[in-house]
Amino acid sequence: MWRAEPNEGILFPQRPVCVRFPPGGRPGAAPSLIGGHDGAVEAWVVDHPAPIDDGPLRRISRELPVPGVGQVRVRVSCCGVCRTDLHLAEGDLNPRRSAVTPGHEIVGYVDALGAGTSRFAIGDRVGAAWLARTDGTCRFCRRGDENLCEASTFTGWDIEGGYADSCVADERYVYVLPPEISDEHAAPLLCAGIIGYRSLLAAAVSTGGVLGIYGFGGSAHLTAQIALHLGMRVHVLTRGSHNQELARTLGVDSVGEATDSPPEPLDGAILFAPAGDLVPVALRALDAGGTLAVAGIWLSDIPALDYDADLFRERRLRSVTANTRRDGEEFLRLAQRFGVRSTTVAYDMADAPRALSDLAHGRFGGAAVLHN
Ligand SMILES: [Zn+2]
Ligand SMILES: [Zn+2]
């Protein structure tokens, strides 16, 4: 099984190399870094989960957060829209607290430092993602599985996320972003990209093997690029002409409807669509010994499985739960090396409900990004 070496390419040395701009920001860049702030933050919150077209998001103004010990404050440049945000808004994913601000694909610029911080300076560009914090001491953290930490907190679920113009983040969980990638194109890498990468590891396909991808949106289109660069043959099975077209433009080996049979048995598959009825479909498409990895945090009910048709001959079904920081750092390194390109659709931050509605109705291919 391939796995990028931690120091491969020396792209992320100990002391992060950051894109740094003077106070006032890069000429023409989205946010000014310091000043011009009136001490208030505009933010979207989920009050009462409801179908997205019934308006579960509300825009509020609240006090500018003060970074605590070990935290940096991030002036949000843009924030990607993830399907998890939709699950949160619609109540498929129970809110961990009331009036939480969604958004966990945050690209921004450090504009205040809490006590005890040392990684970043004012003006550094950073990315804040889903995993906001772990305890570092539980049995999962100690064995390197911090994605399973039972005391973890998540951005845009436990703590305020990036559907706002400012937020705070623990500096140890913040990523340095490849400088070649713009704010808008970096945002989808932070969840869609990282979770997709972990799912690709979970699907356990060797270099040169055959990968099936069920559902093709923000996460899948990044994962497919990594898989193709690693020499895999990639078959995409998805509904929706936008998604199918996006897959074709990336040069995958075949594109079919979600319930079609791929042209050859799959060594591994990833289910990105939140559709449990595709689980037996994908299991049947696996070769003996193949693995189906379910990428999503939420899945509709899985129908009863037929042991012989769906699982026997050592096929495996597994889930993917969040990610470790190592996953994130590896993925960003590969994204830089392979020139992974996110296909994005830009929305104004004020249009967050419309972006979520468009995601719910499959009105675009790729990833929506909200801009301040
Ligand atoms: Zn832990
Ligand atoms: Zn996400």
pLDDT on residue 3: 57
The pLDDT tens digits of the residues spanning 245-283 come to 999 999 999 999 999 999 999 999 999 999 999 999 999
- pLDDT given for residue 366 in this prediction: 79
Q: Specify the DSSP class assigned to residue 20.
A: B
Residue 372 tokens read as 């301040």
Q: Residue 314 Cα, ligand 2 centroid: separation in angstroms?
A: 30
Give the pair of three-digit tokens for residue 210.
Answer: 């055959």
Proximal ligand: closest to the CA of 153: 1
Cα 145–150–155 angle (5° rounding)?
A: 90
Q: pLDDT tens digit string along 183-209?
A: 999 999 999 999 999 999 999 999 999
Q: What is the pLDDT of residues 34-89, one digit of tens each?
A: 333 558 999 999 989 999 999 999 999 999 999 999 999 999 999 999 999 999 99
Residue ranges of domains in the chain: 8-190+323-371, 193-319
What is the C-alpha R_g of the chain? 20
Model pLDDT for residues 225-250, shown as the tens digit of each residue: 999 999 999 999 999 888 999 999 99
> Which residue, among 258, 352, 271, has the nearest Cα to 43 in the 3D structure?
352
Secondary-structure class of domain 8-190+323-371 per CATH: alpha beta
Residue 38: the pLDDT is: 59
Give the closest residue to 234 by CA, choosing from 275, 266, 199: 266
Contacts 24+ apart (CB under 8 A), 203-208: 203/268, 203/269, 203/270, 203/291, 203/292, 203/293, 204/1, 204/267, 204/268, 204/291, 205/232, 205/267, 205/268, 206/1, 206/2, 206/267, 207/2, 207/231, 207/232, 208/232
Tell me, in angstroms, the distance from the centre of ligand 2 to residue 252's CA.
Answer: 24
User: Residue 246, class by beta-carbon neighbours within 10 Å (0-12 exposed, 13-18 middle, 19+ buried)?
Assistant: buried
Q: What's at 161, amino acid-wise?
A: G
In this chain, the answer to whether the domains covering 8-190+323-371 and 193-319 adopt an identical fold is no
CATH 3.40.50.980, applies to 193-319: no
The number of the ligand nearest the C-alpha atom of 324 reads: 1
Whether the predicted pLDDT of 20 surpasses 90: no
> Does 12 have pLDDT greater than 50?
no
Task: Looking at the CA of 138, name the nearest ligand.
Answer: 1
> For all residues of the chain together, what is the average pLDDT?
90
Query: pTM of the entire structure?
Result: 0.87
Say how many Å lie between the CA of residue 307 and the centre of ligand 1: 35
